[in-house]
Structure formats: C-alpha cells, structure tokens
Amino acid sequence: MMPVWSSLSLKFVFIAFVAVSVGLWLGAAAGWATVSLGLALLYGVHVYNLMRLQRWLKAPNADDLPDPWGMWGTVFAEAYRALRQESRKRDQVNRELELFTQAAQALPDGIAMLDSGDQLLWCNDTAAAHLGLQPGRDYGLRLTNIVRVPRLASFLQSGVADETLDYRPAHHSGQLLSLKAIPFSDGRKLLVSFDITKIERADTTRRDFIANVSHELRTPLTVIHGFLEHMSGTTVMPAQQARRHIALMVQQSDRMLKLVDDLLMLSRLEGSDTPQREERVDMHALLHALAEDARALSAGGHNIDVAVDEGAAISGSMDELRSAFGNLASNAVRYTPRSTQISQGARVTLTWRVDEQNRGVFSVTDTGIGIAAEHIPRLTERFYRVDRGRSRETGGTGLGLAIVKHVLLRHQATLEIQSEPGVGSEFRIVFPAWRSVVDAPAAQADAA
C-alpha cells in the first residue's frame, strides 16, 4: 500500500501539472482557476472521507470498509487492523479474567478482596454466604459497615498475615468461621474465611469423650480402691463382710472390663468404613442364637419371640452384625420391666424380613419404658443415656448404640427408631437390597 504522504503529494503534483498546462494553453487566470478547483475538489473528498471515518469508528465493521484503493483505503484498513488487534487482546484478557473468577468461585473457602480502605472490591459466593454479603450490591462499601464482627476493624488493620479471627455469624447459628487477612499490592487485602465448624465439633466430641471415659472408669475404680484400702487396714474381717466386698469388687471390675471391651470394639470399628469380612450370615441361626442370649439375660422375666424365614441370609460380617443386633436385643430386655404376676406384658420380638424393595430388615420391638421423642436423635452418641441410673443398674456402658451406628455405617445400613414412652420401642435396621441373600425356599416364620 502506498504511504499516505506520497499519495497526497502525487495529487498535489497532478493538480499543479494540470493547472500549468491549462495556464500555458488558456492563460494565467485559467491556470489559477484550475488550481483552486483542484484544491476545492481535494478538500471536499477529504472532508467527506473524514466524516465517513468518524461515523465508521463509532461502529467499526469489516463489511462497511470503503474500497481499498487510495489513501483513505489505507487509513481505513489500518484503523480496522488496530481495532481488531485491540479487540482480540481484550477478549483474551476477559477470558483469563473469567477463568480466574471461576477458579476463585470453585475454592471451598471464602475469598473477599478489599482495597486499602477496607472497601469490598469483589468476593466469591462462599465468602458471600459466610459473611452475609451481597456480591455486586455491596461492592464499594466498607466491610466493617456490613459485617458486624467485634474486633474486625483492628484485625484488618493489624496487617499480620498469620493472625486469625474466629467468628460465629449471626445469620448462621452453630457455624464457626476462621478469618485470615492477607495483605497484597498497595495496602489491599485478601480476606479468607474458613468454615471450622466440623473441626470444632470434633474437638468438643474428643474432649467430651475423654472426660466421659475417665469418669466411667473412675467410678468403679473408686469402689474397688475403697474396698481394697479398707481391707488392707483391717487385720481381721468377718468372712461374710469380706465376701460382700469381694462380690462388689468383682461386679465393678466386670463393669470396667465391659467398658474397655466396648471402647476397643468402637475404636476398631471407627478405623475403617468396610466390614471386617464379607461372608454369608445366616439370619435364621443368628436370630435364634440372639434370642437364647436374650432369654438368659431376662432370666424368665420376658416373652422373647423370633420371626424369621429359614434360609434368609445377608452378606456382611457375622461378628459385627451379631454385636449390633445383640446390643439392640439386650437393650430391649434391659429397658422392658420384667413381667410379674400382676403384669404379664413384658415382650420382646426379634424379626427378620425382606421388604418389597428386596431390602433386609431386622427389627427388635419391646413393650418397655419407651423413649421421649427429644432423646431419639441423640441415642447413638457415645455415653448418651436417657436415664443414667437405669443404664448402670442393668449393666449398660452407654456405648451400645454407638457400636450399632458404626457397624451399620460399615454395612451401608440405616437405623430407624420408633418409640412411645410407657408403651414400647421398635429399633429397625434396614440393609441395602444388594446385601440380601435368600438362597432357600421361604419357610413359615416361626415363633419361639
């Protein structure tokens, strides 16, 4: 393409040549008139093209480019090329910004960008949820005016990146957040918010657990220690009294043993999410064995029934299922007052059935003391008891249902509890259909 200055110079030379020729032919006046006309024409063409350029720049469009000849063709083509390059760069920057924003949105933690005056520049959705911000609407507002956190202003001003501020948002009760302010470029800050609710809960659970275990072990130890101290300070003790003391010590040490066994079982179960073994567990045999154990525990104080089809089986760990089902069966006996001559209603029923969705369902129903609704969601917590005295009296450790919960987790099963105080309870375990194994023709349910 010809440079603009040479194209313009050529036009002037052409006008001068024509004017001189006309001047030589028709006289000087005609020559000057030709110069004026030529310059006026040139002026007109440029003004027209300038207006066109101005109009085109408002909406640059490749289809609307003038013919690519002449100096204005060059000007338009170069303007178009420069604009296209600019727009490509802008698109690339936008794409990178979009990617960056998506990455920041995908972070599990909250991120808010603040300027040097602690005004909100941008935040991701997690930060908005954590701090109760409205992305867009709150941009430009000072964070301390939106988020009412005690000490937030001094925390932001401190500029120490390692420091954290714990905060419980009023709009989300129970949640605990940890805030961190990281300074960057010209006094700006990145405010990062972490949800530490689960960590705090785990900490509290661990602390409570240690306190509970210590308390549970301390009580029988104190009894045993007291008797031993008394015996060591007594030279002669009536045989009857000694036997009573020894019997109490045996009872207490038995309780400690049970507690330690349950603790060991729980820690083993917590170690993994899958059953110790996958084997065929014969439900018919298991339920009848459990009924025998329950009868031994009841010592004739309850009617214990079993309803199970012969050949019904499940895939899982025999030991773990026996422990879980056994805990439910022994609870049913322990929390159902014995039948007396006046009341004959103490009844415990162990049932196995396969429901319409082919899921194996084990249930234990009793006619016992029942459980008030507010306690039901907490029963599987370690050491949670509705009536601590009754649990102890009947030899409970407070860990039975926690063990049941963990066994069920490992077998992908769920626990359903229905109960009415003074009427009785039903504890139901529902296994996923793929665990059911029915490999013999169904026989009639039998009752023991």
Residues that bind ligand ADP (CB under 6 A): 327, 331-332, 335, 366, 368-369, 371, 379, 384-387, 391, 396-402, 425
User: DSSP secondary structure string, 393-422?
Assistant: HTT--S-HHHHHHHHHHHTT-EEEEEEETT
Alpha-helix runs per DSSP H in 233-350: 239-270, 283-298, 318-334
Q: Quick one: DSSP state of residue 108?
A: S
Q: Name which of 282 and 366 has its Cβ closer to ligand ADP.
A: 366
Residue 416, C-beta contacts closer than 8 angstroms, at least 6 positions apart: 427, 428, 429, 430
Strand order in the sheet with 360-366: 303-307, 347-354, 360-366, 424-430, 414-420
Please report how close the Cβ of residue 319 comes to ligand ADP at its closest, in angstroms.
18
CB 364 to ligand ADP: min, Å: 7
By CB atoms closer than 10 A (0-12, 13-18, 19+), residue 144 is middle
Please, what's the largest Cα pairwise distance for the chain? 160
Could you tell me which of 101, 90, 57, 89 has the C-alpha nearest to residue 76? Answer: 57
In contact, 245 and 280? CB cutoff 8 Å:
no
**Between 110 and 400, CB nearer to ligand ADP:** 400
SS3 (DSSP) at 186 = coil
- Shortest distance, position 188 Cβ to ligand ADP, whole Å: 54
CB of 352 to ligand ADP, least distance (A): 18
Nearer to ligand ADP (CB atom), residue 164 or residue 418: 418
Smallest distance, ligand ADP to C-beta of residue 334, A: 6
Q: Are strands 120-123 and 110-114 parallel, antiparallel or unpaired?
A: antiparallel
Task: Indicate the SS3 state at residue 188.
Answer: strand
Smaller CB separation from ligand ADP, 49 or 330: 330
**Nearer Cβ to ligand ADP (237/423):** 423
Residue number, 119 or 414, with CB nearest to ligand ADP: 414
User: How far is residue 309's CA from residue 446's CA, in Å, rounded to a whole number?
Assistant: 8
Q: How far apart are CA 294 and CA 362, in angstroms?
A: 16
Q: State the minimum distance, in angstroms, from the CB of residue 379 to ligand ADP.
A: 5
**Residue 103 Cβ, how far from ligand ADP at the closest point, in Å?**
46
Nearer to ligand ADP, 39 or 386 (CB): 386
- Residue 389 half-sphere exposure toward CB, CA atoms < 13 A: 0
Smallest gap from residue 385 Cβ to ligand ADP (A): 3
Give the residue among 19, 22, 26 at the shortest CA–CA distance from 40. 19
Q: How far is the CB of 400 from ligand ADP (least distance, A)?
A: 3
How many Cβ atoms from other residues are within 10 Å of residue 65's Cβ?
14
Task: Specify the residue, 379 or 413, whose C-beta has the smaller distance to ligand ADP.
Answer: 379
Minimum CB distance to ligand ADP smaller for 133 or for 364: 364
Give least dist CB 355 to ligand ADP, A.
Answer: 22
Other Cβ atoms within 10 Å of 419 Cβ, number: 20
Tell me how far, at minimum, the Cβ of 444 lies from ligand ADP, in Å: 27
As a whole number of angstroms, the distance between CA 141 and CA 148 comes to 13
Q: How far is CA 439 from the centre of its chain?
A: 40
DSSP letters, 360-398, are: EEEEEEE-SS---GGGGGGTTSTT--S-HHHHHHTT--S
Return the number of the residue (38 or 368) whose C-beta is nearest ligand ADP. 368
CB closer to ligand ADP out of 252 and 327: 327
Integer Cα distance of 265 and 148 in angstroms:
47
